[in-house]
């Protein structure tokens, strides 16, 4: 296919010379060409894997997420389909539906343990070779073989992309399928059965693949309608319709699977990372963050120093400009297909980048979500060089070759840096995660173990684990995103006999539970990070003494005859769901620390009444109670909500006509009793009942009561709405727990 009809109109850079420099005999057959690509892929992989093995003495990956794929694959091969542990429900913690199946095939044929890492490298080997091969073919498809050779050389010399390709993730496989799909599309100038198969596999490889495949199918349909060829679809072959059917199910299949097994159309990974699932952000905050992400992605492809401080470390400076010039050259070419080809190359990538901006962690792990698109940008960048220097015509190819050579030198200069990074990060995984797994197995820790970074620990430890981040344990993602307080409340819902007694975590990820409070309270062993001394992996005992203690109001609050009819535990996602809880912000942003998490000793008034002669609680009383083993009766750990707008919820199990005594537990950490004041307004079934004022002593817990008259309770449930009105120093209030009490005597009278 010719994009430019007349080679004299553009700077060709002597196609014959480029081919001769590479060795013309190597390109006489496609088999020889792929063999050469395979050799280059083998060389790149051998450098990275060899350096990593030399450092650690064992095979590993630089990313813990890679081992999540291996664990799912192992479980699949054992018959536990998408079950991270035997007997557990299906979870969607992987990022590639296809990749885990390919890995599972390797496990079935005998690649076990470390062998499965070797199998993943074999997949990467052929995938990287496919990337090189596809780039060469795409250069020919655009009638410029030299740009394919240039882009393949840049990918080979890019330590950044090699780090991603050989890191055990699905990146190499996805990139290969994506590039080969574009090659087959350009070769056939439209839809074909093999293209449908390739796009289907691309869609199964990554969520971005679904977007790219859907956009391409839409554009191909538009082209068919434009030229009228859709009228002949009914005479297409059986292969044509079979590939379309496969593509359709590839686009919706994973979502249907998750919907059927988990009750939602996306896996845990997307819930943990997407702006759409953020439990705090207002629409304004989400829009603002999305636009900031999108702008940052654009700057990344520019090689802007604010995103990539070292020029060329990740992306070549100005790559986006050259890529746009190349795309523009295709769009404005005199080929009849030029504009369609430009749309096929540009629109899916633009939409994919727009989708990547919805991820809060789009820059995570060295921008790994953007890596699969970079080879295509390099291809179009090389085409852009061709376009920019077309005015020189055939007189000289030196400027374009000089820029290409400079780009290669920039990539080569960072190659050792990325080898070291790959090796160091793999060593970190091995020294912390793998060694922790071996310690847990050796010491025969019983029961389920609470963990973060669920990959290597579970793959090598093969023990039941509770993922505190929620990628592989269902129902934990939302509490984790809410904060440690909500996560602690989620942990309390585990039946006591099934609760993990040990947590293997990064203390930096759980500062409140591991350092501020003593929930993760007794370190058993520590595995330091060989390159970051502050980021160690620590195994803790878990302190469950406080579990459930927050559910009862203090004795002084409950008047004689009162019975608790219902209660709402703020920041407990189960309790909030059961009570139709909702909160609204006053303005565009949520207040600072939307989920406060506190552990305080008792109630000030109760302490004074019970121990009137003790002045210093911390030095005298707390040690005494700890010695007696009853400290947890007075030490309360609870999470709440910070409200600067309003909150609403339903109370159930009420007796109509009887007054309801609504108790609120709150707390403040300013330490200034004279300034502590909340002011709210309370509505029952949207009827204003009055103002609710709270004042008292900070640091300790405080409970206050609002009496709802019996005439407001017209049925067995009541909608309560509380609107914050703020005070001079407190534009918000903190709600930790609500109890609805009714008087037993009045209940009996009412029943009579």
Condensed to tens digits (0 to 9), the pLDDT of residues 218-244 reads 998 888 888 776 666 665 677 888 888
Question: Could you tell me if 374 and 411 are in contact, meaning their C-beta atoms sit under 8 angstroms apart?
Answer: no
Say how far apart CA 517 and CA 510 lie, in whole Å: 10
* Average pLDDT of the chain to the nearest whole number: 88
SS3 148: helix
**Could you tell me what percentage of the chain is helix, strand and coil, using 3-state DSSP and rounding each to the nearest 5?**
55, 15, 30
> How many other β-carbons are positioned within 10 Å of the β-carbon of residue 573?
20
Nearest partner of 570 among 742, 722, 728, 743, judged by Cα: 722
For the entire predicted model, the pTM comes to 0.90
pLDDT score at 15: 44
Average pLDDT rounded to a whole number, residues 355-379: 94
Within 13 Å and on the Cβ side, how many CA atoms surround 244? 14
* DSSP notation for 691-726: EEEEE--SSSBEEEEEEEPGGG--SS-EEEEEEE--
pLDDT score at 641: 95
Higher pLDDT: 630 or 512? It is 512
Average pLDDT rounded to a whole number, residues 165-180: 96
pLDDT score at 5: 42
pLDDT score at 533: 83
Structure confidence by residue, pLDDT tens digits, 668-718: 877 777 788 899 999 999 999 999 999 877 777 889 999 999 999 999 999
SS3 635: strand
Q: Please list the residues that pair with 526 across neighbouring strands.
A: 538
Taken in order 123, 124, 125, 128, is the CA torsion positive or negative? positive
Q: Which two tokens stand for residue 600?
A: 């305080």
Higher pLDDT: 398 or 209? It is 209
Phi and psi at residue 744, to the nearest 5°: -60, -40
Lowest mean pLDDT among 190-194, 285-289, 600-604, 722-726: 600-604
pLDDT score at 3: 52
Structure confidence by residue, pLDDT tens digits, 557-575: 888 889 999 999 999 999 9
Taken in order 744, 745, 747, 751, is the CA torsion positive or negative? positive
CA distance from start to end of the chain: 91
Q: Which two tokens stand for residue 577?
A: 């769901």
Question: Could you tell me if 521 and 541 are in contact, meaning their C-beta atoms sit under 8 angstroms apart?
Answer: yes
- CA separation (Å) from 53 to 140, 423, 452, 480? 38, 8, 25, 35
pLDDT score at 137: 94
Name the strand (E) or helix (H) holding 651: strand 646-651
Phi and psi at residue 82, to the nearest 5°: 55, 25
Residue 745 confidence (pLDDT) above 90: no
pLDDT score at 144: 85
Report residue 752's pLDDT band, with 50, 70 and 90 as the boundaries: low
3-state per-residue secondary structure call for 539-574: EEEECCCCCCHHHCCCCCCCCCCEEEEEEEECCCHH
Q: Which two tokens stand for residue 82?
A: 């998408």
Within 13 Å and on the Cβ side, how many CA atoms surround 439? 19
Ranked by mean pLDDT, the top range of 99-108, 191-200, 248-257, 280-289 is: 99-108
Report residue 656's pLDDT band, with 50, 70 and 90 as the boundaries: very high
Structure confidence by residue, pLDDT tens digits, 281-315: 999 999 999 999 999 999 999 999 989 888 899 99
Average pLDDT rounded to a whole number, residues 588-612: 82
> If you count DSSP H runs as helices and E runs as strands, how many of each does the chain have, helices first?
27, 18
Average pLDDT rounded to a whole number, residues 379-396: 76
Higher pLDDT: 187 or 674? It is 187
pLDDT score at 263: 84
pLDDT score at 333: 81
Say how far apart CA 33 and CA 31 lie, in whole Å: 5
- CA separation (Å) from 98 to 79, 166, 583? 17, 17, 40
Structure confidence by residue, pLDDT tens digits, 429-487: 999 999 999 999 999 888 899 999 889 999 999 899 999 999 999 999 999 999 999 99
CA-based diameter of the chain, in Å? 106
Nearest partner of 449 among 541, 376, 380, judged by Cα: 541
Say how far apart CA 217 and CA 349 lie, in whole Å: 14
CA angle 732, 734, 736 (to 5 degrees): 160
Taken in order 726, 732, 736, 738, is the CA torsion positive or negative? positive
Report residue 23's pLDDT band, with 50, 70 and 90 as the boundaries: very low
Percent share of the chain, pLDDT over 90: 61
Question: Could you tell me if 65 and 75 are in contact, meaning their C-beta atoms sit under 8 angstroms apart?
Answer: no
Edge-to-edge strand list for the sheet holding 702-708 = 562-569, 737-743, 660-666, 702-708
What is the chain's Cα-based Rg? 31
> How many other β-carbons are positioned within 10 Å of the β-carbon of residue 616?
8
Phi and psi at residue 695, to the nearest 5°: -150, 165
Average pLDDT rounded to a whole number, residues 489-501: 94
Q: Please list the residues that pair with 541 across neighbouring strands.
A: 502, 522
Q: Which two tokens stand for residue 252?
A: 């919706």
Higher pLDDT: 388 or 83? It is 83
């Amino acid at each position: 296919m010719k994009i430019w009809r007349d080679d004299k109109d553009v700077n060709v850079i002597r196609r014959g010379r480029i081919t001769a420099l590479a060795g013309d005999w190597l390109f006489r057959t496609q088999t020889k060409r792929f063999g050469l690509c395979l050799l280059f892929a083998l060389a790149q992989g051998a450098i990275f894997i060899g350096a990593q093995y030399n450092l650690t003495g064992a095979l590993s990956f630089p990313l813990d997420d890679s081992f999540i794929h291996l664990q799912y694959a192992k479980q699949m091969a054992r018959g536990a389909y998408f079950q991270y542990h035997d007997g557990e429900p299906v979870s969607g913690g992987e990022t590639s539906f296809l990749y885990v199946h390919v890995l599972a095939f390797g496990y079935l044929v005998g690649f076990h343990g470390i062998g499965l890492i070797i199998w993943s490298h074999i997949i990467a080997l052929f995938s990287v070779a496919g990337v090189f091969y596809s780039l060469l073919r795409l250069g020919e498809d655009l009638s410029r073989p030299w740009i394919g050779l240039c882009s393949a050389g840049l990918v080979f010399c890019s330590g950044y992309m090699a780090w991603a390709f050989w890191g055990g993730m699905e990146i190499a496989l996805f990139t290969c399928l994506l590039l080969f799909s574009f090659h087959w599309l350009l070769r056939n100038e439209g839809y074909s059965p093999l293209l449908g198969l390739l796009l289907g596999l691309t869609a199964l490889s990554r969520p971005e693949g679904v977007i790219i495949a859907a956009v391409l199918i839409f554009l191909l349909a538009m082209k068919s309608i434009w030229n009228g060829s859709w009228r002949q679809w009914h005479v297409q072959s059986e292969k044509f319709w079979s590939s379309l059917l496969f593509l359709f199910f590839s686009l919706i299949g994973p979502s249907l699977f998750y919907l059927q097994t988990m009750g939602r159309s996306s896996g845990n990974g997307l819930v943990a990372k997407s702006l759409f699932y953020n439990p705090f952000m207002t629409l304004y905050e989400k829009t603002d963050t999305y636009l900031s992400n999108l702008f940052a992605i654009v700057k990344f492809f520019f090689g802007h120093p604010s995103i990539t401080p070292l020029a060329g470390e990740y992306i070549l400076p100005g790559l986006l400009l050259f890529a746009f010039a190349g795309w523009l050259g295709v769009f404005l070419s005199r080929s009849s297909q030029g504009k369609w080809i430009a749309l096929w190359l540009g629109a899916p990538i633009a939409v994919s980048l727009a989708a990547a901006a919805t991820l809060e962690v789009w820059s995570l792990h060295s921008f790994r979500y953007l890596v699969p698109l970079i080879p295509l940008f390099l291809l179009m960048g090389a085409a852009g060089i061709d376009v920019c220097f077309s005015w020189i015509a055939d007189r000289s190819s030196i400027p374009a070759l000089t820029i290409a050579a400079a780009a290669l030198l920039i990539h080569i200069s960072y190659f050792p840096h990325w080898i070291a990074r790959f090796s160091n990060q793999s060593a970190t995984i091995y020294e912390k995660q793998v060694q922790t797994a071996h310690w847990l197995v050796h010491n025969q820790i019983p029961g389920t173990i609470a963990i973060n970074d669920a990959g290597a620990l579970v793959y090598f430890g093969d023990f039941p684990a509770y993922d505190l981040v929620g990628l592989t344990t269902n129902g934990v993602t939302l509490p984790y995103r809410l904060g440690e307080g909500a996560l602690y409340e989620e942990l309390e819902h585990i039946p006591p006999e099934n609760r993990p007694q040990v947590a293997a975590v990064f203390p930096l990820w759980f500062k409140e539970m591991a350092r501020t409070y003593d929930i993760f309270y007794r370190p058993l062993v520590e595995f330091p990070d060989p390159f970051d001394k502050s980021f160690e992996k620590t195994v803790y005992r878990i302190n469950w003494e406080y579990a459930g203690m927050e559910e009862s109001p203090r004795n002084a609050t409950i008047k004689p005859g009162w019975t608790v009819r219902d209660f709402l535990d703020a920041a407990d996602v189960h309790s909030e769901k059961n009570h139709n809880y909702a909160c609204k912000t006053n303005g565009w942003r949520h207040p600072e620390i939307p989920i406060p998490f506190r552990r305080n000793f008792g109630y000030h008034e109760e302490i004074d009444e019970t121990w009137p002669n003790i002045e210093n609680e911390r030095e005298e009383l707390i040690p005494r109670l700890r010695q007696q083993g009853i400290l947890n009766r007075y030490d309360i750990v609870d999470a709440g909500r910070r409200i600067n707008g309003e909150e609403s919820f339903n109370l159930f199990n009420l007796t109509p006509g009887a007054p309801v005594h609504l108790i609120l537990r709150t707390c403040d950490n300013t330490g200034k009793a004279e300034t502590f004041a909340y002011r709210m307004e309370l509505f029952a079934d949207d009827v204003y009942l009055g103002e609710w004022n709270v004042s008292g002593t900070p640091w300790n817990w405080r409970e206050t009561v609002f009496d709802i008259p019996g005439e407001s309770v017209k049925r067995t449930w009541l909608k309560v709405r509380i609107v914050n009105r703020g005070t001079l120093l407190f534009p918000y209030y903190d709600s930790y727990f609500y109890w609805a009490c009714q008087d037993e005597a009045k209940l009996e009278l009412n029943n009579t």
